[in-house]
Chain A
Amino acid sequence: MSEMLMLTSSDSIEIYRYEEKIRNSGRSFNWVLVRDTLRFLRKSKIRKSNLVSKYGLKLVTQYLNKLDDQEGYDTIEQVIIACLDCGDETNPKKLLEQLKSKFGKDSVRVQRIQALCYESNNQLAEALQIFESILKKYPSDALSMKRQVAIFKGQGNLNKAIQVLNAYLQIYMCDLEAWLELSSFHISYLSYSTALYCLEEVLLNAPINFVFYIKYAETLYCLGGSENYNSAIQYYTHSLELNSPTEMDKLDHPPTFLPAIYGIIMSIYSMCEEGHPLKESQLKLMEWAQNNLLIITKKYSSNDKLNLVKHFIDSTDIFNKD
């Protein structure tokens, strides 16, 4: 998810254009175009495994000699990883052999790919062993640590995963995706206050991304207590500021701030339940949120959903109850 959020819009437009061109080129295989696309993907670090495994595989199997040396092997690596993503196991093995014969078994990069292959083959112990040996040589190898975390997470060994991730964040403390991951681990242990710390770190790293504010507010809401509800409202509101509802009519897709609106309604309602005094502005906000929720639902969904939403608003209403 976070990967998608990191994309700048110009990058995504660019890659969309590339994709269109490749699809439109029909049966003839335009290897220059594919090479450029893969090059762009490598540079922008976008993950399009389907595209890469489909077209890149043909590129490296049939047109490898047309690529220059360095790029050819980079491309092979890229294609192997994409194929592994897509659950293809035979092709990566062949390509890996190619890399092995070229660079020998001792190359760290080859070892990493080997470990990835093991992982996809569910030979987790071997993969872990390779990553550990790499880390012994290069103690700050980011990818190996991340993969270790992923393996432990896959095994359900969250304690261990948190441990490794902490070690990773000790070094790379500006990696917001890692913080996000750590926060999700802590959330699954229900230790919300620790998760909040991680999410604060995420906010510091991505201060204009409204999604993270919603996530932070949600965690605050989960923690409970009128104080936290209050700040949850504030963070929801700030996310609305960043993802402004005033331009709703200009959008060509349904609005993306509904979580914030639901969050505001729920937080204010819960605050009221706690018997905490509400500010006047919060009441106004509640009115606005309820109204806007109805407008959006009317505009974008069917009638039975509207009824559901109406019931929701009734059940969380703080105005008209007596």
Chain B
Amino acid sequence: MTESPIVLDVEIRNWVVIPILIVLFIVSALKLNISKIMQINSGKPQDVEKTMQMQTINRVRRLVSFYNRIPQRSFFIRKSYLCGTTGSKTNKGILSSIAPVQEDSNPMNMMFANSMFTDPSGITDMLKGNIMHLIPQVTMMSWVNHFFSGFVACKLPFFPLTIRFKTFLQRGIEMGSLDVSYVSSLSWYFLCWFGSEGINAILLGDNMVSPDAQFLQSTIESGPPTQQTPIHKIYASEKENIEMIRYDSIMTNIEDRFLDNIQKKTSFDFNQINKNTINNNNNINNIKPKPIKSNLSNSKQSKRISYQKPSSLIK
């Protein structure tokens, strides 16, 4: 394929290629500054309510799994705090405090109820960000497309590209025979747009918002992760979980259990112990046999033995 090279007008370079570059740079600089202003203004307050709800759920789950570690009375205190006391109208409990009304009252909430955008501020932030990127994009594109379409703007140096780049490099020019290294103005605009990000970061370094803004914004612990299911449903199910618990402490008969374990693992002989203690207490000579000694081995159930107060015995 021997083609005579197309001679491009110098005016095209002066009035198309370079202006697009300059305009792109100016727009991205403006964009940075504007988004900086908008981000500073949108210092959204933290959602205390939300954090509390998440923490409550967490706390309830812990209570459900580890209730047997705390005494019965403490468990019931917590239960009445969370689920309310039965029959009482004043104390309905924390977990019933959220009424499932929000969904129906607001069509917006209905729409977003099952999506991740339950937080309205999140929506506005996203919209803002999108608009910030979208508007300059669209205007610039239509500007380039309107004024500079229909001709070759420049030629890439060095080496010919494969035919596949044609759609990428010659957007707006449908001509099969044109060499791939020629670039249309719209494609030039895209090339500059993608390529300029790194250059902007260097040139506008001081004003670059993104990392600093993150630093500014991430000051506070980010809020709770967005919730999929509505909170009152989780509350209701957790409430059920608590109410299903039949209280049982791991502390009952813990002494027996512990001693059994010791005996198993170390083959501890309790008769041996008694001798040891006797030997150690050498200042006491008259040792009376322990009252429990006889039925130590056979009785497993906790048998109560009344003991007299030693101090009264001394006198």
Contact = CB atoms under 8 A, between A and B. Distances in A.
A139 B286 CA distance: 70
Interface residues of A, number: 64
B290 A139 contact: no
A287 B63 contact: no
Interface in A219-260: 231, 233-235, 237-238, 240-241, 244-246
A235 B69 CA distance: 9
Interface in A25-64: none
Interface string A253-294: 000000000000000000011010111111111011011001
Interface in B9-63: 43, 45-46, 48, 51-52, 55-56, 58-59, 62-63
Interface string B276-315: 1100110110111010100110010011111111110110
A241 B221 contact: no
B62 A204 contact: yes
Interface stretch (A2-10, A88-96, A123-131, A166-174): A166-174
Contacts of B221: 142
B286 to A, nearest CB: 7
A141 interface: yes
Q: From DSSP, what is the main secondary structure of chain A's interface residues? A: helix
B273 A320 contact: no
A281 B270 contact: no
Contact of A235 (B52, B56, B219, B251): B251
A116 interface: no
Interface stretch (A101-109, A146-154, A183-191): A101-109
Contacts of B306: 277
Chain B interface residue count: which class?
35 or more
Contacts of A281: 253, 255-256, 259, 302
A304 B145 CA distance: 97
Interface stretch (A14-22, A79-87, A156-164, A310-318): A310-318
Interface in A171-222: 171-174, 196-197, 200, 203-205, 207
A207 B65 CA distance: 10
Contacts of B305: 277-280, 283
Contacts of A118: none
B45 A139 contact: yes
Interface of B: 43, 45-46, 48, 51-52, 55-56, 58-59, 62-63, 66-67, 69-71, 74, 77, 211-212, 214-216, 219-221, 250-251, 253-259, 261-262, 265-266, 268, 270, 273-274, 276-277, 280-281, 283-284, 286-288, 290, 292, 295-296, 299, 302-311, 313-314
A-B interface, 7 closest residue pairs, ranked by CB to CB distance from nearest = A281-B255, A108-B219, A234-B251, A246-B265, A321-B310, A109-B219, A207-B66
Interface of A: 69-70, 73, 102-103, 107-109, 112, 137-142, 170-174, 196-197, 200, 203-205, 207, 231, 233-235, 237-238, 240-241, 244-246, 272-273, 275, 277-285, 287-288, 290-291, 294, 310, 313-314, 317-322
